[in-house]
């Protein structure tokens, strides 16, 4: 089963609960009187995200869903299966990954809709490789420094990896 962050909105919808919430703070009368904020919960995992900064409920819903997919990528690991337990050299990254790898470099924007899926795939593989960054980099066909730079695009991902490295007495990684 694919990681929830890799699913489209249509595939995720049956597992989501959306709530309209009122936003607080600046934004005028419309923002303070109308529940245009959106909170979304992924029911199987309990992971939640919200967006309130836009005046439109539709825009807030889109932003909340993107934030949810990003949080799922960070907080939830897919169960290990045979496809992920192959050696790094035999691993086949997703098509989304292959499209963003050019000459051993990773080209992706953190605001692109695919970013949470790409992050989830790397973090799942890193988990399968027991945080061996070099092995995970080989699995994705990039250098170790490129993989660390990719993780640094989401500071919480690199911070979590560095916390686990410190627990093992290893030096933290820097982008």
- Is the predicted pLDDT of residue 80 greater than 80, yes or no? no
| Mean pLDDT of the residues in the chain | 89
CATH number at residue 62: 3.30.160.20
Give me the domain span that covers residue 50: 4-75
Q: Are residues 35 and 99 in the same domain?
A: no
Same domain? 61 vs 118: no
| Residue 78 predicted with pLDDT over 90 | no
User: Which helix H or strand E contains 42, and what residues bound it?
Assistant: strand 37-42
**Section 131-149 average pLDDT:** 95
**Which residues contact residue 27 at a Cβ distance below 8 angstroms, ignoring those fewer than 6 apart?**
55
Identify the pLDDT of residue 53.
Answer: 84
Domain count, the chain: 2
User: What's the pLDDT at 35?
Assistant: 77
* CA atoms of 68 and 74, how far apart (whole Å): 10
- Hunting for tokens 């410190």 — which residue is that? 166
Please tell me the predicted confidence (pLDDT) of residue 172.
Answer: 94
More confident residue, 9 or 154: 154
């Amino acid at each position: 089963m694919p990681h929830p962050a890799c699913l489209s909105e249509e595939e995720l919808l049956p597992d989501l609960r959306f709530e309209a919430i009122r936003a607080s703070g600046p934004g005028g009368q419309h923002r303070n009187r109308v529940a245009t904020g959106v909170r979304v919960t992924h029911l199987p995992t309990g992971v939640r995200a919200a967006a309130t900064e836009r005046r439109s409920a539709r825009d807030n819903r889109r932003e909340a869903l993107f934030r949810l997919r990003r949080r799922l990528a960070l907080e939830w690991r897919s169960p290990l299966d045979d496809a992920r337990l192959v050696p790094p050299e035999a691993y086949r990254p997703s098509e989304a990954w292959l499209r963003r790898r050019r000459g051993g470099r990773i080209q992706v924007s953190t605001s692109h809709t695919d970013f949470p899926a790409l992050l989830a795939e790397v973090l799942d593989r890193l988990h399968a490789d027991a945080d061996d960054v070099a092995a995970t980099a080989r699995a994705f066909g990039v250098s170790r420094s490129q993989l660390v730079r990719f993780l640094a695009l989401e500071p919480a991902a690199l911070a979590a990896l560095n916390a686990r490295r410190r627990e093992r007495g290893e030096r933290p990684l820097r982008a």
